[in-house]
Amino acid sequence: MPKFIINGRRPLKGEINVSGSKNAALKIFPAAILTREKIRVLNTPEIEDISRAQEMLLALGHEVKKIKPGVVDIKFNAQKCVALPAELVNKFRASIMFVGPILATCGEVRFPHPGGCVIGAGTRPIDLFLDSFQKMGAKLEIKDGHYCLKAKKLKGVEIFFSKVSVTATESLIMTSCLAEGETVLKNSAMEPEISALADFLNSCGAKIEGAGTPTIKIKGVKKLSGGEYKIIPDRIETGTFAMLAAASNNGNILIKNCEPKHLEALWVLFDKIGVNVILSKDSVSIKPAKKLSACEVTTHEYPGFATDLQSAYTVLMTQAYGLSLIHETIYDRRLLFTDMLTQMGANIIMADPHRAIVNGPSKLHGRKLVSPDLRAGMALIIAALIAQGKTEIDNIYQIDRGYEKLEERLKKLGADIARQN
């Protein structure tokens, strides 16, 4: 299995570019099912999860063509099937995003429970999706370990999400674009990727209002046209690089091609802990701090502090003076990776599955580690880059799922990181 070998404590400085957002890009491939016309996608990140999404579209009967790096054309060819291939569904949770568009255009869909990062209790639930599709008139049957949904025509309804969910919000936006009448989604998630998706669908003829607020109204239309979709910069990557810069603390790092306004919760925290940040419209410059102060954080849906940034922040707090409480409210397995930071020399106590206390600063030491999931894997890379000695990180497929050519970009900053196949 490929691994990263990292020799820590190399001075890091210079510039690093941010890729297109994984979580925005993942939704354009299922959205393409809603139109028979061509969609051109720009700024597409070249990562494993996107390859899986492209394979899914190919399996369903679309053409997917890479025009040049970052530019992909998608066009309907012929409907091959309404069943999502199990081997792809097992590999990424965002496969659930294909269900609504297939149901809306073909009247039926069949799929097993989706895989992906194991960061929630047991398997991550899909009840919000299933309940909402049924509310719109679909009949659900569970047979031979597969969900089967059928609906001649989906109807617009009012849906109140019992939990704020990014993918459930996006899925129901897509599904109701072609439904009969108006759908109103309440208690919706407000992430920038949702607004980006709604803007794109509107440019193709959809009638969506309120994306980026808790109440979204979608008036069903007969059909959607094709169009061009430029993926927004990855805010999680931006925040993660900013925390790497703050933790490594030895040179100026300029993070380019990003949208700092999507990370206000992080910049407020940086102010409190003493990181020097200069924000422009599309870049972030981080200068070494004299001394980092500890500060607690609670993860929250957007615009709060993203759960996807929690693991990198926890690593940063191992370098800060004092006690910081890390309160993970979204997923109950997301703090388990802190055990590996403890093995590296960090002083962390797990209070319960949702809260850990970091007592810093600690000197970290290189270790042999296994990446448990995408974001924790990236956090371990940050820890390895600031640790004394050599770290080996195994199971890096989990990191390749979401970060494009990571070692190349980190090497440009001066990191000593190599991929071993």
**Phi and psi angles of residue 351, each rounded to the nearest 5 degrees, phi first:** -80, -45
Under rule CB under 6 A, residue 288 binds ligand UD1: no
DSSP for 368-419, please give it: EEE--SHHHHHHHHHHHHHSBSEEEEE-THHHHTT-TTHHHHHHHTT-EEEE
Q: Which amino acid is at 57?
A: L
Q: Is 124 in the site for ligand UD1 (CB under 6 A)?
A: yes
- Per-residue interface string for the shown chain with ligand UD1, residues 317-336, x marking contact by CB under 6 A: -------------xx-----
* Residue 165 touching ligand UD1 (CB under 6 A): yes
In this chain, which of 34, 88, 126, 173 binds ligand UD1, going by CB under 6 A? 126
Q: Is 237 a binder of ligand UD1 (CB under 6 A)?
A: no
Q: How far apart are CA 318 and CA 315, in angstroms?
A: 5
CA distance 174 to 195: 12
Burial class of 168 by CB neighbour count within 10 A (0 to 12, 13 to 18, 19+):
buried
Helices and strands in the chain: count of H runs, count of E runs: 14, 23
Give the nearer residue to ligand UD1 in terms of CB position, either 3 or 22. 22
Name which of residues 182 to 201 contact ligand UD1 (CB under 6 A): 189
For ligand UD1, the closer of residues 126 and 149 by Cβ is 126
Nearer to ligand UD1, 26 or 410 (CB): 26
Binding test (CB under 6 A) with ligand UD1, winner from 307, 310, 319, 371 = 307
Scanning 40-48, 80-88, 118-126, 198-206 for contacts with ligand UD1 by CB under 6 A, the matching segment is 118-126
Site string for ligand UD1, 386-415 (x = CB under 6 A): ------------------------------
The piece of 77-85, 105-113, 304-312, 320-328 that touches ligand UD1 (CB under 6 A) is: 304-312
Q: What residue type is assigned to position 233 of the chain?
A: P
Of the ranges 56-64, 159-167, 377-385, 406-414, which one interacts with ligand UD1 (CB under 6 A)?
Answer: 159-167
Catalytic residues: 117
The answer to whether residue 120 forms part of the interface with ligand UD1 (CB under 6 A) is yes
Q: Is 87 among the residues that bind ligand UD1 (CB under 6 A)?
A: no
Query: Is residue 110 at the binding interface for ligand UD1, with CB under 6 A as the rule?
Result: no
Q: Binding of ligand UD1 at residue 167 (CB under 6 A)?
A: yes
Residue 283: partners with Cβ closer than 8 Å, 6 or more residues away: 254, 255, 256, 257, 258, 260
One of 6, 12, 18, 23 touching ligand UD1 (CB under 6 A): 23
Q: Which of 403, 396, 374 is nearest to 45 (CA)?
A: 403
The distance of closest approach from Cβ of residue 274 to ligand UD1 in the complex, given in angstroms and rounded to an integer, is 27
Tokens of 135: 């509310």
- Do 128 and 163 contact (CB within 8 A), yes or no? yes
- 129 part of the interface to ligand UD1, by CB under 6 A: yes
Residue with tokens 């410059």: 285
Contacts of 144 (CB under 8 A, 6+ apart): none
CA of 7: how far to CAs of 128, 282, 381, 383, 387, in Å? 44, 31, 10, 11, 8
With contacts defined by CB under 6 A, name the span among 28-36, 120-128, 152-160, 255-263 that binds ligand UD1.
120-128
Closest CA to 394 of 6, 117, 1: 1
Q: Which of 32, 168, 255, 380 binds ligand UD1 (CB under 6 A)?
A: 168
Binding site for ligand UD1 (CB under 6 A): 23, 26, 93-94, 120, 124-129, 163, 165-168, 189, 306-308, 330-331
